[in-house]
């Protein structure tokens, strides 16, 4: 009897698993449709230079306008992609879209840079830099110096030699490189030592409590000191208050990004934000 029940259970589990597999497949199909249609969008979050108060550039953040479920953020769909090759196609789409936007800004006479988040599996493709070179060649008006690749520290960046090689190749093209979410990985200092990086982005987890938690403040202060000593630019992400911006300026942090400045927004809203910021930059050395 017990055997029978066990068998039934197995059967049930099997059915559940089938349902899960078909569920996953249909979800992949939806994302595929999103990619082929016009449901994917880049939002832009500005980044400001604290000394001058000038807008240094923006970060491109992926959004999915789902036909029935509304606006989705990367956390809702990127982790589930795992190593599906849709991840690569998405990455390619984001880079293409970002270059179009850079070209647009260039035509408007805006000297903004644009940071793009690159997944580990995308960066580790043998021909990553070649593909980037091909894309850049399609946008000859865009200065490669205006494109920044943000690499997230993750355990997935296992083949560090390959990552370093590809990034070095990208830097030869004139593109800049940033280590995102610095301090959250398993091997932050190893990445810093081995990868050709122009910039460190301090993870928002350290920034959010830096005024309340002396340990976090100490970490932020020393990451800034270290970045400067190593001749790397340093950006703080997740800056929500003027007090945080003030403290970061005093600690020698050159650039900040966060809800306190602006939330990520569609390109159509950015023009207005930029105009109002230029009229009255809220955060800069003189007024902070």
Binding site for ligand C2E (CB under 6 A): 45, 61-62, 73-75, 78, 91, 94, 117-119, 150, 152, 180-181, 204, 237-240, 258-259, 264
Which entry of ligand C2E, Mg ion, none binds 109, CB below 5 to 8 A by partner kind? none
89-94 own/partner pairs: CB under 8 Å, 24+ apart: 89/35, 90/31, 90/35, 90/40, 90/62, 91/118, 91/119, 91/122, 92/122, 92/131, 93/35, 93/40, 94/42, 94/60, 94/62
Which entry of ligand C2E, Mg ion, none binds 49, CB below 5 to 8 A by partner kind? none
Is position 181 an interface residue for Mg ion (rule: CB under 5 A)? yes
Is position 150 an interface residue for Mg ion (rule: CB under 5 A)? yes
Q: Cβ distance 217 to 183 under 8 Å?
A: no
Q: Is the CB of 254 or the CB of 272 nearer to Mg ion? A: 254
Q: What are residue 174's phi and psi, to 5 degrees?
A: 105, 0
Which entry of Mg ion, ligand C2E, none binds 183, CB below 5 to 8 A by partner kind? none
> In whole angstroms, how close is the CB of 71 to Mg ion at the nearest point?
19
Q: Alpha helices of 68-213 — where are they, by DSSP H?
A: 74-77, 86-108, 120-123, 128-138, 160-172, 188-194, 204-208
Alpha carbon 265 to its chain centroid, in Å, reads 14
> In whole angstroms, how close is the CB of 60 to ligand C2E at the nearest point?
6
Options 45, 113, 117, 177; binder of Mg ion; rule CB under 5 A: 117
Is position 49 an interface residue for Mg ion (rule: CB under 5 A)? no
> In whole angstroms, how close is the CB of 284 to ligand C2E at the nearest point?
18
Residues found near Mg ion in the complex (CB under 5 A): 117, 150, 180-181, 237
């Amino acid at each position: 009897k017990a055997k029978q029940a066990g068998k039934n259970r197995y059967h049930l589990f099997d059915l559940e698993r089938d349902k899960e597999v078909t569920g996953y497949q249909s979800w992949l199909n939806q994302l595929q449709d999103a990619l082929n249609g016009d449901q994917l969008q880049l939002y832009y979050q500005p980044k400001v230079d604290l000394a001058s108060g000038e807008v240094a550039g923006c970060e491109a953040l992926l959004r999915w306008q789902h036909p029935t479920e509304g606006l989705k953020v990367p956390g809702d769909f990127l982790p589930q992609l795992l190593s599906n090759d849709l991840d690569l196609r998405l990455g390619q789409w984001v880079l293409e879209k970002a270059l179009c936007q850079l070209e647009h800004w260039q035509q408007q006479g805006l000297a903004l840079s644009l940071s793009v988040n690159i997944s580990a599996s995308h960066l580790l493709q043998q021909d990553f830099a070649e593909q980037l070179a091909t894309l850049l060649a399609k946008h000859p008006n865009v200065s490669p110096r205006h494109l920044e690749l943000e690499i997230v520290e993750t355990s997935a960046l296992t083949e560090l030699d390959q990552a370093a090689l590809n990034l070095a190749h990208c830097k030869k093209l004139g593109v800049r490189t940033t280590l995102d979410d610095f301090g959250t990985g398993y091997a932050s200092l190893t990445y810093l030592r081995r990868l050709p990086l122009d910039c460190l982005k301090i993870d928002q987890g350290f920034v959010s409590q830096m005024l309340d938690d002396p340990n976090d403040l100490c970490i932020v202060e020393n990451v800034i000191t270290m970045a400067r000593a190593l001749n790397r630019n340093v950006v703080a992400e997740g800056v929500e208050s003027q007090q945080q911006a003030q403290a970061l300026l005093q600690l020698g942090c050159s650039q900040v990004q966060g809800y306190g400045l602006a939330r990520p927004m569609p390109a159509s809203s950015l023009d207005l934000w930029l105009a109002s910021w230029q009229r009255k930059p809220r955060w800069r050395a003189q007024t902070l």
